[in-house]
Chains A and B, each alone.
Chain A
C-alpha cells in the first residue's frame, strides 16, 4: 500500500514551459486535492475533485488546470509556467468531506526560472 505518490519529485522549468504533475492514490479515496505550499502561507488549495470525472476550483486556481480521468489519479497542469508558480506542490486524498483526514503525498518541488 503506497498511499499517495507524486511524480516528479523535483522539476525546473523556464518561464512559458508547460508540465504536468501526477498524483496517484491506492486507497480508493473519492476526494483528491492539489495544494501549493509557500513560506509563511501554509497550504493553499488549488483545485480539488469529489470523484472521477469531476473537478472544482479552490482558493488559488489561476494558471493551473486539472483532470481526474481515473479515480486513482489526479493531474495538475501548468500550461505556461510563471516564476510566481515556484512552490512545493502537495497532493492529498480523503474518503469524504472535511470530517475525514486528508492523506498527503511527499510533494513536488517546482522552480520556474
Chain B
C-alpha cells in the first residue's frame, strides 16, 4: 500500500519569502500525486496534481511541485508567499489500481508580516 510522509509539521515564513514544503511517498510504481490546501475552517482544495509527463507541475495560486522519482519526493514550492497562503497543506498519493488516496499528516504554514 502507498504512504506519504510530510517531515515538517509547522513552517513559519515571512511574507514575500519563498516557501518549500516537503513530501515523500512510498509506492512501488509511478504514483498519482496531489497537493491540497486547507484554509482554517474550510474543506480541502486541490492545488496541483501529477500523473505523468513533465515532472514540474504548475498549480493554482502560484504554486508548483516537482516529482523526483529517484528521491520519492513531490515537494511543493512558491517563490513569494502572501499572507493568504497561511493554511495547512496536505500531500496525497494514489495508486493506479486503487480508489483511495493516502494523505500525509499535513504541514501548517504561518506567514509573518
A-B interface pairs (CB < 8 A), number: 60
Q: How far is the CA of A72 from the CA of B4 in the complex (A)?
A: 30
**Chain B residues with CB under 8 A of A31:** 99
B interface, size bucket: 20 to 34
Cα distance A103–B43 when bound, in Å? 9
Assess the A98–B43 pair: CB atoms within 8 A.
Answer: no
Q: Is the CB of B32 within 8 A of A43?
A: no
| B101 touching A98, Cβ below 8 Å | yes
Instruction: From known contacts A40-B9, A43-B90, infer whether A102 and B96 are also in contact, taking CB-CB under 8 Å.
Output: no
User: Would you give the shortest CB distance from A21 to chain B, in whole angstroms?
Assistant: 14
Closest B residue, CB atoms, query A49: B99
B contact residues around A42 at 8 Å (CB): 4, 90, 103-106
A94 to B32 Cα, complex, angstroms: 14
A90 at the interface (CB under 8 A from B): yes
* Chain A nearest Cβ from B66, distance in angstroms: 19
0/1 interface trace, chain B 21-48, chain A, CB 8 Å (1 if under):
0000000000010101000001111100
Q: A31-B99, A48-B99 are in contact. Are A97 and B42 (CB under 8 A)?
A: no
- Interface set of A (CB-CB < 8 Å, partner B): 4, 31, 33, 40-45, 48, 50, 58, 90, 92, 94, 97-99, 101-107
